[in-house]
Structure 1
Amino acid sequence: MVKEQIVTPWKVSCDEETGVDYDKIINKFGCTPIDTELINQIESVSQMEAHSLIKRKLVFAHRDLDKVISQKFYLYTGRGPSSESMHLGHAIPFVFTKYLQDAFNVPLVIQMTDDEKFLFTNKSFNDIRNFTLQNIKDILAFGLQEKTFIFSNFEYSHKFEEKTLKISKLINLHEAEKVFGFSSSSNIGQISFPPKQIAPCFPSSFPFLKNYKYCLIPAAIDQDPYFRLARDKAPLLGENKPATIYSKFMPSLKGIGKKMSASDPFSSIYLTDSAEDIKMKITRHAFSGGKQTLAEHRELGGNTSTDISYIYLSYIMQDDNALMKIKNSYESGEMLTSEIKNICIKEVQEFVLDYQIKRKEVDDEKVERYMSEREF
């Protein structure tokens, strides 16, 4: 029996064999696929080659991206601090956000939704505070420009309370239930949270963004309900509609239909993992698209659409030609599962080691600087 696909900010479930159907999401949410014409526009405006995540359709959909990239805009993204260490799936959106900031030379605002994690999980207030500090350091290790402002909702969101209240007044309970799936069992804090994530979509929430009129939000596709609502309410607030650019989910080591989980350390590659940890996890736990026997694999080849090692390579390997060669070799049966896993191990180890070196350089002074309000 095919499992019903559910994609919300708090739950993603799909058929474990086929994974998430992104065409269905585009049709349901009403997003626009990123096409060749838009990629050419991105390259023309930025004077840079489009990121490999765009060209490989791992960043795949948008709303009004074509309208804002020629305007004066800022970036807005976020992170829900739910664990002490981020994993590879958390890293990729910030790698992409850094590309956008560098390509268009724009300010960036990052919201740490520590309040959301307190309201939607059983984690303690103090644990979430600690996760927030560690994750801020994790994020700054990606090399974001100085014109980046990162803030904790616990500490800062009162400063845009006026905007939050104006948004709240425009959303009735029925609409919130319909958009976010709230029910009679939802606590009232959960119901009151969405306007806080919507508020930073509008430059008037931040005094240092007074010269900017447009916002572009890079996010995973499960966050779209927030920003659909933001776009609906923007005219009533006298604001421009925020634009969005959406990425696919990086799947669990255990298969394309499964999510990385903090409760299962073997479902994810953590940014704190050692080279030995990475080798063990990929060798033992990365789902293979190879065939059952050597003879069958040589004859029929592997399936790159379900092979986790190949999928991870498509996220982090920069060389398009090398990736295509791996794809062709594996699908033809020339390359074996053990060989593609070894390539994946090497690439992931290099990515994580490079990241860990940069993470050690992030100190409290840098955190304080990036969390301070300043003119951009």
Structure 2
Amino acid sequence: MSSPMELYEQLTAQGLAVREIKAQKGEKAEVEAAVQRLLRMKEDYKHLTGRDYQAGRPPARTDDDADPAEDEEEDEDDQVDPWNVSTSSAKGVDYAKLIVRFGSCKIEQELVDRIARVTGKTPHHFLRRGIFFSHRDMHQILDAYESQKSFYLYTGRGPSSGAMHVGHMIPFLFTKWLQDVFDVPLVVQMTDDEKYLWKDLSLEDCHRYTLENARDIIACGFHPDKTFIFSDLDYMGASPAFYRNVVKVQKHVTFNQVKGIFGFTDSDCIGKISFPAIQAAPSFSNSFPQIFGDRNDVQCLIPCAIDQDPYFRMTRDVAPRIGYLKPALLHSTFFPALQGAQTKMSASDANSSIFLTDTAKQIKNKVNKHAFSGGKDTVEEHRKFGGNPDVDVSFMYLTFFLEDDEQLEKIRQDYRSGALLTGELKKCLIETLQPMIAAHQERRRLVTDETVRQFMTPRKLHFSR
């Protein structure tokens, strides 16, 4: 009898086989036979493991699966999906394994160097430090750019509260840099419909959070002539072209596929099952006729955290079957909670997050009280043995927000040697965050209702290509 891992791998291969047969327009009997075999394998898998098969979520290893050459500490798999991120490791998610599991490509130094050559700009420190670590088809985007062809950026935000935290800003800070160095248009999807379907929130609250979060996004410095921010609740009803693409995706993705990708169950509302098609639609340029007309040949580049990748694996799978280009992606790591890298920062836990609305005093108190330390228990031990920056949350946060590479490396070495104490490291972080968030709050204060309307009005954007 197959082990859970072997059956999981067989299921993954059979799912690919079914999609290939359908893509090649195989005979009806051949398709049905392949689908029936897939369904039987899923039943066997559930009987063996006690849970439904989910693509990208292999089973926990058993003794039968174990490879003696592997690290014995890696007992549990990381859980990564669009709604949950967790790991048993104090260092955080194993991103090398995640690349293998998701089938993406590591951002190697060669790609970072090529981006520098093509743009003529120093690569963003998120790229230099591996914060954006994985990609799909980024070389294709650069090929297009060098051939004077257009592309556009697409990222988004699920507005579940009025206040965003610093972890939410990572894709927007990087997207702002991409917009500047490539001089390309950007669409920002506010998935207020998603939050209504998944959270215990009213439609009115979800839409209000969209408008509040839009202020924070605008305060990142996006160019109004190159940026369109839209609410799903508003835009889909006002844009026939957008809705037509949603329907095309819905027709070409089966219920079994979305259950396999996202883990939906029979008790989930039908809105959840249809939502992935809505998140897919901005990947296609003719969803925005006010920007691109009826062109469907403008490729899309999506900067996002890697937990959003399942949506776009689905999108890339369906795109050729409806006559569109596959979107390219750049994936970021997760921004850890203050309590440690086992989970990402959450807006639902005030003490796990540094919010963009926090005062200087609140920032200081949260870092000092809640930031997980990689230091030793006593000053004497720390001076003698040093701390571990790989698990220290204050150091992790500095890798995101301290731009000076030399200063960051000196902090790493001093902390590891014991020359820098935990309290001193936390002080470095506090002194980095306080002015950064204060500056953001000042920019946000200048964002008026009219500014928000300007960014969220469907219109022609201006860009060089």
TM-score normalised to structure 2 length:
0.79
CA distance in 1, matches of 2:446, 2:210: 18
**CA-to-aligned-CA distance 1:165-218 (integer Å, 9 cap, x gap):** 010000001111011111112111100100000010010111112466110000
Alignment check: 8 A CA contact 1:79 1:112 kept: yes
Task: Work out whether 1:209 is the aligned partner of 2:292.
Answer: yes
Deviation at 1:261, TM superposition (A): 2.2
Deviation at 1:3, TM superposition (A): 4.3
Alignment check: 8 A CA contact 2:77 2:87 kept: yes
Pairs within 5 Å for 1:222-261: 222-261=307-346
> Aligned pairs, how many?
376
Deviation at 1:124, TM superposition (A): 1.5
SS at match of 1:256: strand
Deviation at 1:109, TM superposition (A): 0.2
Partner of 1:81: 159
Deviation at 1:16, TM superposition (A): 4.9
**CA-to-aligned-CA distance 1:213-257 (integer Å, 9 cap, x gap):** 110000000000111111111111111111000000000000011
CA distance in 2, matches of 1:199, 1:99: 24
CA distance in 2, matches of 1:209, 1:21: 39
SS at match of 2:343: coil
Pairs within 5 Å for 1:267-346: 267-346=352-431
**Percent sequence identity over aligned pairs:** 48
CA distance in 2, matches of 1:305, 1:259: 16
Partner of 2:223: 145
Partner of 2:246: 164
**Equivalent position amino acid for 1:149 in 2:** F
CA distance in 2, matches of 1:19, 1:52: 20
Partner of 1:28: 101
Alignment check: 8 A CA contact 1:58 1:247 kept: yes
Partner of 2:280: 198
Partner of 1:60: 133
Partner of 2:261: 179
Deviation at 1:262, TM superposition (A): 2.4
Partner of 1:189: 271
CA distance in 1, matches of 2:347, 2:325: 37
CA distance in 2, matches of 1:263, 1:55: 31
**CA-to-aligned-CA distance 1:1-37 (integer Å, 9 cap, x gap):** 9444211111212115342111111000001000111
**Equivalent position amino acid for 1:10 in 2:** W
CA distance in 2, matches of 1:374, 1:101: 18
**CA-to-aligned-CA distance 1:308-329 (integer Å, 9 cap, x gap):** 1111011001111111111111
Alignment check: 8 A CA contact 2:154 2:188 kept: yes
TM-score normalised to structure 1 length:
0.98
CA distance in 1, matches of 2:96, 2:406: 27
**Equivalent position amino acid for 2:233 in 1:** F
SS at match of 1:258: strand
SS at match of 2:342: coil
Alignment check: 8 A CA contact 1:16 1:255 kept: no
Q: Which structure is higher in RCO with an 8 Å CA cutoff and minimum separation 6?
A: 1
Deviation at 1:282, TM superposition (A): 0.3
When Rg is computed on C-alpha atoms for both structures, the one with the higher figure is 2
Alignment check: 8 A CA contact 2:387 2:417 kept: yes
In structure 2, list runs of 5 or more residues that go unmatched. Answer: 1-72, 145-149
Partner of 2:122: 49
In structure 1, list runs of 5 or more residues that go unmatched. Answer: none
